[in-house]
Amino acid sequence: MPVQKTSGYLAGQLLIAMPQMRDPRFVRTVIYICAHTAEGAMGLVINREFEGLTFPELLDQLGIEPGPGSEAIRIHLGGPVEGGRGFVLHSTDYAHETTMVVDQQVALTATIDVLKAMSSGEGPRTSLLALGYAGWSPGQLDAEIRENVWLNVAADSDLVFGMDIERKWERAIQKLGIHFGSLSGDAGHA
């Protein structure tokens, strides 16, 4: 039975880095927020590919036989925290006892079982594999949003799971109905 998280705050939303983001780890990133409570927040960067490791190579390191189609699965750089830890953001058609359901369309699993299922073609219909995550301490994300560091927008499957990584940031901003050239770095102004 999947673990159902308590709903709250920005879970299931996308964070979009403002154009003036100074932290090089987050410049032009789009982050899917998996959990956001009074205790903090956790999300996965969905528009940065992890360089230097393929899914078949990862499976080999874990002693899992790569199945057909394994070459097509890309690994994302999920964020700067725990870079050696893997997370699979996926459609809710797959569930493991440790799966955390984010909302009706998206769940998160961080066990080797989901990688085995993906390798054998029995995994979720749609998925995004990431190494590492982005994390915020209590109140930190809320403060950054007030400081105009991030915008947020409702997530959709195409943005989250789409293969066009290079355009996700612009597409997420366009989803807000604004042109990114008109965004201001001053708090309270768009």
Query: Bigger pLDDT: 184 or 154?
Result: 154
Mean pLDDT over 149-163 rounds to 94
pLDDT-derived band at 182 (thresholds 50, 70, 90) equals low
In CATH terms, the superfamily for domain 3-182 is: VC0467-like (3.40.1740.10)
In the predicted model, is pLDDT for residue 179 greater than 90?
A: no
Residues 91/158, Cβ–Cβ less than 8 Å: no
Q: Find how far residue 152's CA is from the centre of its chain.
A: 13
Domain ranges in the chain? 3-182
In the predicted model, is pLDDT for residue 129 greater than 90?
A: yes
**What pLDDT does residue 189 have?**
44
Sign of the Cα torsion 75, 79, 83, 86 reads negative
- Percent of the chain whose pLDDT exceeds 70: 89
Taking only the tens place, the pLDDT of each residue in 66-87 is 988 888 899 999 999 999 899 9
Query: Bigger pLDDT: 180 or 188?
Result: 180
Helix/strand/coil for 142: helix
For strands 100-101 and 150-154, give the pairing. unpaired
**What pLDDT does residue 6 have?**
42
Say what the pTM is.
Answer: 0.89
Please, which residues bridge with residue 135 across strands?
A: 42
**What pLDDT does residue 185 have?**
52
